[in-house]
Amino acid sequence: MSLDRLRASRAFALLPLLLLAGMVALGLFIEAARYRTLLWETKIPLALLLLLAFLRKRAPGEG
Amino acid sequence: MHLFIELLTLIFFLGFVAHAVAMRGRAGAGFFAAMLLLGFLRENLVILRDILYGFSPLHLLLGRAPLIASIIWGYSIYAAVVWAEAVSGERFGSRRPSGRFLGLAALFMIALACFYEPFLKLIDMARWQEGTRSTLDVPWITWIGYPTMAVLFLPLWGWAMGMDSRAKRLAALLIPLPFLAFGHALALQALKSALGW
């Protein structure tokens, strides 16, 4: 895949947010497995914002 | 556990840099270089002046401050830019971002503070000053500190990148950057003390 096609890909554009979502999941795993707790409430704002970005449709003409 | 988190954050940071370079070319690399300098200056001041918070002894350092503290700003603000672009449709680049874009980036930074801070406390990585007021282990002052860093840096970057020569761009960025780094930490401590937070 050429760099131009990669840049045009929405999935690639959102890759940092996917990584961040992975980090949230890993945080939850560490909390549960190592510390026997879940700080889930504090992850709700970030989870909702990430979800918003993933669900938002690309506007017409948007690169 | 600390070394694992430090290495993981470094790997994610390098991944973000690669993404920025792929998407934005040299401007992406420059963005992270500027943010790294900003983080390095700010976090070393926090350590040397013993303000706001401290850290457990960590493995990877940049100057006197933990590497993770210096790189997390670039990592977080770039994530906020990517999110604000996705939600607003506005492309961040060589002009000042709109107020709406900055508001969205600020919102995302607050959400990141809610994610990072309780986790860092749980694993005993960061230690805020004794008596710091917080809710669900999120210090109140972070709801100001995180978004203001993005709201101050992003217009500076956009303004500097709008200059018509490389020398002007460098000067427009590098001269205010230390003032922003030191001013942000010192002003935040002053505000925290004044509000009793």
Contacting residues for A43 by C-beta, under 8 A, at least 6 apart: A24, A27, A28, B114, B115
State the pLDDT at residue A58: 65
Rounded Cα–Cα distance for residues B31 and B177 (Å) = 12
Per CB-CB distance under 8 Å, the chain A contacts of B15 are 16, 19
Q: Record the pTM.
A: 0.95
Optimal mutation site among B115, B134, B138, B140, interface A, most CBs of chain A within 10 A? B115
Contact B154, B105 (CB under 8 A): yes
Calculate mean pLDDT across residues A27-48.
94
CA of A18 vs chain B CAs: smallest distance (Å): 10
- A57 confidence band (pLDDT: 50, 70, 90): confident
B137, two tokens: 């282990």
Q: Are residues A46 and B115, on separate chains, in Cβ contact within 8 Å?
A: yes
pLDDT of A59 strictly over 70:
no
For A63, the closest of B91, B112, B115 (CB atoms) is B91
Q: For the beta carbon of residue A20, count every other beta carbon within 10 angstroms.
A: 24
pLDDT tens column, B96-114: 899 999 999 999 999 999 9
Contact B124, B56 (CB under 8 A): yes
User: What ipTM did this prediction achieve?
Assistant: 0.92
Percent of residues, chain B, with pLDDT higher than 70: 100
Closest residue in B to A40 (Cα–Cα): B115
State the pLDDT at residue A1: 64
Contact B95, B34 (CB under 8 A): no
Look at the alpha carbons of A25, A28, A32, A38 in this order and tell me if their dihedral is positive or negative. negative
Mean pLDDT taken over chain B: 96
At residue B138, the 3 state secondary structure works out as: strand
